[in-house]
Amino acid sequence: MKITGRTRLAGIMGWPVAHSRSPAMHNFWLEEQGIDGAYVPLPVRPEQLEHALRALPALGFRGCNLTIPHKQLALSIIDRVEPLARRIGAVNTIIIAPDGSLEGRNTDAFGFRETLRETVPDWKPASGPAVVLGAGGAARAVVAALIEARVREIRLINRTEARAELLARALANPSSRITVLPWSDRDRALAEAGLLVNTTSLGMAEEPALEIDLALLSLSAIVVDIVYVPLETALLAAARQRGHRVVDGLGMLLHQGRPGFEAWFGAPVRVTRELRAAVLTTLNNPH
Ligand code: ATR
């Protein structure tokens, strides 16, 4: 990479931020497209988030991504929040307008939709209820995408049921019924489902395993895990062994980066096998 006086800048703010795979992804695209640009990790403490965001236009940045713990806090700092990000309750992409104002978007729902479209293009929202495990920020984005796809019934299951109730209320929509079920009902909830999505951190490296019995899940159902370290979680391995089609979490991570890149650097990008390989290398060799 060559830095010139005209290099376009974007980055990711987080605390910590060193674990983020976004620099590998965006710099891969910059190089692939031959764009004079750079995407840098920006370690920013939560108490400095407002200063850091407000400094971006002065520093000539086109925008940035936000990761833990800034995604919710940013809502109260920036100038405009797109309605979807407001409903999801989190902003992961900031775009700086020509007048220096900050606009916030959430591209996780887009990332989820696009990874399904790419991996299981024949999935039909009408194929049966969708079971979603978890009620954090990722679950909100997944549920928003399922509502947008017009899935008629979403069975939402979280260890802390009250959090699932809050999510169901925040995203309530006449075209999709969100049924909140207790965590202990997760095996039974799989009956007739067309899609199962794990959005919890269970199954992630160094986290406890997700304990779930897939026996009642129809073999035509698709199983998605948004965890991507490891890429093949125990859930996906068990589902694959039973004959389900499975979708890993890397696709959602990569697709969610596209709208930001396109807004900052002005070029459309694709999720290719080469990109997956480049980001996978960083997953296998952290830091
Ligand atoms: P994110 O924003 O990435 O979705 P999060 O808000 O921390 O992350 O959400 C983590 C999810 O994993 C939550 O649904 C959490 O359940 P709670 O709402 O009950 O905390 C779920 N989770 C984490 N550890 C869990 C465990 N040991 N058993 C069941 N669910 C767990």
Q: Does the structure show a pLDDT above 70 at 286? A: no
Q: How far is the CA of 7 from the centre of ligand 1 (A)?
A: 39
Can you tell me the mean pLDDT for 163-172? 97
Interval 218-234: pLDDT, tens: 999 999 999 999 999 99
Q: What gap in Å lies between CA 144 and CA 40, rounded to an integer?
A: 29
Q: Give this prediction's pTM.
A: 0.95
| Known catalytic residue at 71 | yes
Cβ-defined contacts of 200-204 (< 8 Å, 24+):
200/133, 200/134, 200/136, 200/158, 200/159, 201/227, 202/133, 203/227, 203/233, 203/234, 203/235, 204/229, 204/233
Q: How far is the CA of 133 from the centre of ligand 1 (A)?
A: 9
Q: Is the CB of 85 within 6 Å of ligand 1?
A: no
Q: Is the CB of 177 within 6 Å of ligand 1?
A: no
Q: Which of 21, 26, 70, 71 is catalytic?
A: 71
Q: What gap in Å lies between CA 285 and CA 154, rounded to an integer?
A: 37
Can you tell me the mean pLDDT for 48-73? 97
Nearest atom, ligand 1, residue 133 CA: 14
Can you tell me the mean pLDDT for 279-286? 82
Interval 133-154: pLDDT, tens: 999 999 999 999 999 999 999 9
The whole-number pLDDT of residue 287 equals: 54
Nearest atom, ligand 1, residue 137 CA: 2
Contacts of 76 (CB under 8 A, 6+ apart): none
List the residue whose alpha carbon is closest to atom 26 of ligand 1: 202
3-state helix, strand, coil in the chain (%, to 5): 40, 20, 40
